């Protein structure tokens, strides 16, 4: 969607001469749309980063727990 907004802004900029008053309002609208989609993308990246961080933390704990079980089995033998 972000790339589509950028395409629309580019097309509107090429038509500036034909639509004087309307083009400035439309460019302002697409500037806000661009900002909105950037914020949305950063928000989803933040969520993805937090989920990945938790997966890695839990994976590390799981590996550590497996190693502890293995060490206990070796000691028990």
Structural contact between residues 34 and 5, judged by C-beta atoms closer than 8 angstroms: yes
**Helix (H/G/I), strand (E/B), else coil: 17:** coil
pLDDT at 12: 78
- Taking the C-alpha atoms of residue 31 and residue 12, their distance in angstroms, rounded to an integer, is 12
Residue with the two structure tokens 């639509």: 19
Distance of CA 23 to the CA centre of its chain: 30
Output the tens digit of pLDDT for each of the chain's 77 residues.
Answer: 778 888 888 887 777 767 666 767 777 888 888 889 888 888 888 888 877 776 665 555 566 777 777 788 888 76
pLDDT at 60: 59
Structural contact between residues 12 and 30, judged by C-beta atoms closer than 8 angstroms: yes
Domain spans in the chain, listed from the N-terminal domain onward: 2-76
pLDDT at 13: 76
Structural contact between residues 30 and 9, judged by C-beta atoms closer than 8 angstroms: yes
């Amino acid at each position: 969607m972000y790339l589509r907004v950028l395409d629309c802004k580019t097309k509107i900029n090429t038509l500036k001469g034909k639509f004087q008053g309307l083009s400035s309002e439309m460019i302002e609208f697409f500037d806000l749309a661009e900002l909105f989609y950037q914020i949305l993308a950063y928000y989803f990246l933040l969520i993805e980063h937090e989920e990945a961080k938790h997966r890695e933390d839990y994976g590390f704990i799981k590996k550590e727990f497996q190693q502890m079980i293995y060490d206990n089995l070796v000691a028990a033998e």
